[in-house]
C-alpha cells in the first residue's frame, strides 16, 4: 500500500497581494500531485484547509480543479476533511470542497450519526493488495476536539463489532498538539488526550499546524508546503509518503524567505542601517534561487535616531531586483524623554509615533506607510476639532481608506488578471 498525506495547502492565498504567491501555493499542490502520479500511490489524504478561505474566487477553483483532475485521471482517490479555513458558514449547507466532491474530484468525509454511532457513520473502506483499509474523517471542531475523543473510540469499537477490524485504520483530523512547535497559534492539545486512540488507529493524519511533526510512529502532521507566516520560515514541512510501512517526510522546496533582523540599538545612524542591509543584499545575490525570494526586514529594539530619516523607499529599490517582495516590520522603541520637557512640536511627534507604531504592530503589511497614515489621522482629528465641513472630512477619510487598501494589498486587484495564470 502506498499513499500520501498532505494538509494546509491554502490554495487561493495571495500573500502580500501578489499574484505570484497565488501561483506558488498552486505549484506546491501540483508538485504533490505529480509525486503521487509518479509513485503510483493508491490514494491521497488532505487533512483540512485545501483552500485559504471559505469564499474562493474562480481562479482558485480552476486551479484546484485542474490539479485534482490530473489525480482523477490517474485513478488516485483523494480523501479530504474540512479545516478551519474552508469549512462552511453556519447557515450554509455546501462548501467549495463539497463542490469538488460533487464533481467526483475529492471524497469529503463528514461527521454523520446513525442508530449505531454518534460521529463516524460516514467512513470509507476498501481493499489494497488484499488488505482491508478503513478511513475515518473528523472536520475541524476547535475547542470541542478533546472532549469527543472518548466518543470517537466508542464509535470505532461499534463499527469494528459490526464490520470486523480492518488491517489498516486511518483517522483524519484537523487540530494541533501542544509542545510540537514554538509558534503562537493556540489551541494545542495534550498528547494524553488522544493517546487512547492508538489502540484503534494505525495512522492519525493531522492538519492545522504549519510545521511537520511525528509522534510515536502513529501521529503525523505534514505542515503547510508553502510559507504562510514569517515564524514558519526554516521550519520543516511538506507531505508524508507512506510506502509499504515506510513513512518519509518529503520536504517541499517552495519560494525562499530571507529574514534580516536588526537590533536598532546597534545602529547609531540611518547610514549604518543601510550599510547592514547592503551587506545582506550581497549575500542574497550570491545565492541561487529557483524563484526570487520574499525578503523580510525586521527592525527591533530602541531606535537611536529619527525614524523619519530611514528611507524605506530607497531600501526597497535597492532590494527589489533580487526579491519578489520586501516585507518590513517594526518593533522599535523611541528614546525616552521627560514629559515636563516636551514642547508642543515634540508632543505632536510622539502622537505620530504612537499611532504609527500601533498601525505597524497590528498590520505589518502597512509598516511602510504607517507614518503617513498616522499623520492623516492626526490631521482629521484637528479638522474635527476645528469644526470643519463634515462631508469634506468624510470624503477625505474615504480616500485614505482607499489608499490604505492599496498599500495593504500590495497592488490594485484590478491590475492582476487571474486568467494569465492559465494562459
Element (H, E) at 327: strand 325-333
Residue 420 has pLDDT above 60, yes or no: no
Residues 404/366, Cβ–Cβ less than 8 Å: yes
Which residues touch 423 (CB under 8 Å, ≥6 apart)? none
Provide the pLDDT confidence category of residue 1 given band limits of 50, 70 and 90.
very high
Which residues touch 175 (CB under 8 Å, ≥6 apart)? 140, 141, 145, 187, 189, 206, 208
Provide the pLDDT confidence category of residue 121 given band limits of 50, 70 and 90.
very high
Q: What is the CA radius of gyration of the chain?
A: 26
Domains, in order of start, for the chain: 2-251 (3.60.21.10), 257-414 (no CATH)
Tens of pLDDT, residue by residue over 352-393, are 777 877 776 666 566 666 777 888 888 777 777 776 677 767
Of residues 126 and 409, more confidently modeled: 126
- Terminal CA-to-CA distance of the chain, rounded, Å? 37
Provide the pLDDT confidence category of residue 208 given band limits of 50, 70 and 90.
very high
Q: What is the pLDDT of residue 383?
A: 74
Q: What is the pLDDT of residue 364?
A: 57
Of residues 187 and 204, more confidently modeled: 204
DSSP string computed for 219-260: EEE---SS--SGGGTT---EEEEEETTEEEEEE---S-EEEE
Cβ burial 131-160 (10 Å sphere, 16+ → b, else e): eebbbbbbbbbeeebeebbeebbebbeebe
Element (H, E) at 419: none
Q: How far apart are CA 39 and CA 322, in angstroms?
A: 36
Of residues 6 and 86, more confidently modeled: 6
Residues 64/72, Cβ–Cβ less than 8 Å: no
C-alpha to C-alpha distances, 281 to 139, 272, 317, nearest whole angstrom: 44, 14, 11
Q: What is the pLDDT of residue 382?
A: 76
Q: What is the pLDDT of residue 371?
A: 72
Q: Which of the 8 DSSP states describes residue 107?
A: E
Q: What is the pLDDT of residue 74?
A: 98
Tens of pLDDT, residue by residue over 159-172, are 999 999 999 999 99
Residue 413 has pLDDT above 70, yes or no: no
Q: What is the pLDDT of residue 337?
A: 46
pLDDT (average), residues 185-214? 91
Return the closest-CA partner of residue 257 out of 286, 275, 235.
235
The percent of residues above 70 in pLDDT, for the chain, comes to: 84
Q: What is the pLDDT of residue 419?
A: 47
pTM check: above 0.85:
no
Instruction: Look up residue 139 and give its three cell numbers.
Output: 472536520
Which residues touch 133 (CB under 8 Å, ≥6 apart)? 1, 125, 126, 127, 166, 167, 168, 169, 170
pLDDT (average), residues 112-121? 95
Tens of pLDDT, residue by residue over 299-326, are 999 988 888 888 888 888 889 889 999 9
What's the gap between Cα 396 and its chain centre?
34
Amino acid at each position: 500500500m502506498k499513499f500520501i498525506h498532505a494538509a494546509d495547502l491554502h490554495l487561493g492565498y495571495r500573500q502580500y497581494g501578489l499574484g505570484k504567491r497565488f501561483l506558488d501555493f498552486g505549484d506546491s499542490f501540483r508538485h504533490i500531485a505529480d509525486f503521487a502520479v509518479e509513485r503510483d500511490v493508491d490514494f491521497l489524504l488532505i487533512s483540512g484547509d485545501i483552500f485559504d478561505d471559505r469564499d474562493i474566487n474562480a481562479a482558485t477553483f480552476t486551479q484546484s480543479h485542474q490539479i485534482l483532475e490530473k489525480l482523477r485521471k490517474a485513478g488516485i482517490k483523494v480523501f479530504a476533511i474540512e479545516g478551519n479555513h474552508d469549512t462552511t458558514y453556519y447557515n450554509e449547507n455546501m462548501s467549495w470542497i463539497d463542490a469538488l466532491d460533487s464533481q467526483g474530484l475529492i471524497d469529503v468525509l463528514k461527521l454523520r450519526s446513525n442508530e449505531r454511532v454518534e460521529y463516524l457513520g460516514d467512513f470509507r473502506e476498501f481493499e489494497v493488495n488484499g488488505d482491508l483499509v478503513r478511513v475515518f474523517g473528523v472536520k475541524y471542531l476547535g475547542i470541542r476536539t478533546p472532549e469527543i475523543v472518548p466518543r470517537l473510540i466508542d464509535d470505532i469499537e461499534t463499527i469494528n463489532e459490526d464490520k470486523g477490524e480492518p488491517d489498516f485504520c486511518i483517522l483524519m483530523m484537523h487540530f494541533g498538539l501542544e509542545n510540537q512547535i514554538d509558534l503562537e497559534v493556540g489551541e494545542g492539545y495534550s498528547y494524553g488526550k488522544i493517546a487512547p486512540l492508538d489502540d484503534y488507529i494505525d495512522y492519525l493524519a493531522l492538519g492545522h499546524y504549519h510545521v511537520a511533526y511525528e509522534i510515536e510512529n502513529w501521529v503525523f502532521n505534514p505542515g503547510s508546503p508553502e510559507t504562510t507566516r514569517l515564524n514558519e520560515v526554516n521550519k520543516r514541512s511538506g507531505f508524508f509518503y507512506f510506502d509499504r510501512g515506510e513513512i518519509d517526510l518529503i520536504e517541499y522546496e517552495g519560494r525562499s524567505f530571507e529574514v534580516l533582523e536588526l537590533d536598532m540599538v546597534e545602529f547609531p545612524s540611518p547610514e549604518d542601517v543601510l550599510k547592514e542591509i547592503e551587506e545582506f543584499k550581497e549575500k542574497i545575490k550570491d545565492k541561487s534561487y529557483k524563484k526570487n525570494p520574499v525578503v523580510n526586514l525586521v527592525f527591533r529594539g530602541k531606535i537611536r535616531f529619527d525614524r523619519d530619516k530611514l528611507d524605506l523607499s530607497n531600501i526597497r529599490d535597492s532590494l527589489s531586483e533580487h526579491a519578489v517582495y520586501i516585507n518590513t516590520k517594526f518593533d522599535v522603541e523611541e528614546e525616552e524623554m521627560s514629559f515636563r520637557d516636551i514642547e508642543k512640536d515634540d508632543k505632536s511627534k510622539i502622537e505620530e509615533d504612537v499611532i504609527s507604531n500601533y498601525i505597524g504592530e497590528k498590520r505589518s503589511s502597512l509598516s511602510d506607510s504607517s507614518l503617513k497614515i498616522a499623520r492623516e489621522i492626526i490631521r482629521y482629528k484637528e479638522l474635527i476639532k476645528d469644526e470643519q465641513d463634515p462631508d469634506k472630512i468624510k470624503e477625505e477619510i474615504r480616500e485614505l481608506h482607499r489608499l490604505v487598501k492599496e498599500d495593504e494589498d500590495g497592488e490594485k486587484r484590478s491590475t492582476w488578471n487571474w486568467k494569465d495564470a492559465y494562459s
